[in-house]
Amino acid sequence: MIDRGLRAANQAERFCSKRSNAVRRMQVPQLTPMICSSAPMQETRNNLRKAACSDCTVLITGETGTGKELAAEFIHANSSRHSEAFVCINCAAIPDSLLEAELFGHTKGAFTGADTVRDGLLFAANGGTVFLDEIGDMSSMAQAKILRVLENREVCRIGGNRVTQLNIRFLAASNQRLEDMVSIGTFRKDLFFRLNVARIHLPPLRERKEDIPLLLRHYCENFRREPAAPEPEFSEESLQCFLRYDWPGNIRELKNTVEWLLLGDVPHQINPEHLPSHLRAIIQTNASLSDDERSALLSALFSAKWNKSQAAKKLHWSRMTLYRKLAKYQISEDSKSEQ
């Protein structure tokens, strides 16, 4: 058992140069704006704020690319621990043989070449927050190690015999249904109940499409190579393509698309011919884009810069009809620029 631990520690030393793939540390992380105006995300943001006011363990669920790490940062940055460390651990990137050395560290002399005491990730997070990203990818052995720490908040370095009590908060995330994994025996039931104290689900982008124009504007600002250059505008037809597409990769896919669009010479107005082929195909396969009433309404509003009279004219509606549709689809101008 000791030999296995020492071998793991030796491997961990070689793993340090690649550690950034598994771990991202931030001392006092900056609060990234949560760009949203949709009703589902407004509710989600309120739930994140409630979770930040407590110190309980939070399980964040959602599809790949929905922003689970951003949600964890939001909780930490709005919590009483905001001035302490935030340590993000990619559970899928740390092999079992390195897990203990990475999480718990080692003592001086624990193995050949261990000339100093090395703190593990949990020591580094003392006083702050640990985010266990994609915890559903952890092996059964790793799950047992995490469960023990969750239960008692105690750790012991490899090669040592002194147990240290830590003051850390745990946040976890998964894009898998952990309940299903529990039912088939691939995820520990006791660990699931330890994690599932407060649960927050992030909706996929296809369920919050009114956020798309805001996200486009945000990423255009981020990826603009010349800060003084005018921000490109999206034509109504290109915006319709963005609104009709279901975005299986969610916000990450949208972000990557904007970055691709801003490579090379950027036109003042982005039209369908500038879009990637899979988005351009929407025009060919959906000849009647206006059949999607909600998407058409959103497109008209944003192209008219939320001038309701102009939007109604574009849609050939009366203003009263436009207001009824706004209420029907729960679209609110008041929240469109909240962060």
> pTM, whole model, 2 decimals?
0.78
In a domain, 339, yes or no: no
Q: Which residues pair with 88 in a beta bridge?
A: 24, 131
Question: CA-CA distance, 64 to 204, in Å (whole number)?
Answer: 9
Question: CA-CA distance, 255 to 268, in Å (whole number)?
Answer: 19
Structural domain ending residue among the three candidates 203, 222, 243? 203
Higher pLDDT, 76 or 317: 76
Are 302 and 315 spatial neighbours (Cβ–Cβ below 8 Å)?
no
Expressed as residue numbers, the domain containing 97 is 2-203
Which one, of 260, 266, 275, 263, lies nearest residue 230 by Cα? 266
Structural domain ending residue among the three candidates 203, 237, 255? 203
Question: Roughly what angle, to the nearest 10 degrees, separates helices 2-15 and 96-104?
Answer: 80
Pairing of strands 58-61, 169-174: parallel
Going by pLDDT thresholds of 50, 70 and 90, the confidence category of residue 19 is: very low
* pLDDT at 13 > cutoff 50: no
Question: Positive or negative, the Cα torsion across 174, 132, 205, 309?
Answer: positive
In a domain, 146, yes or no: yes
Least confident of 51-60, 202-211, 228-237, 240-249: 228-237
Q: What is the pLDDT of residue 178?
A: 96
How many structural domains comprise the chain?
2
Question: What is the DSSP secondary structure assignment for residue 204, as one 8-state letter?
Answer: P
Q: Which residues pair with 133 in a beta bridge?
A: 90
Higher pLDDT, 118 or 192: 192
* pLDDT at 237 > cutoff 90: no
Going by pLDDT thresholds of 50, 70 and 90, the confidence category of residue 9 is: very low
Same domain, 198 and 238: no
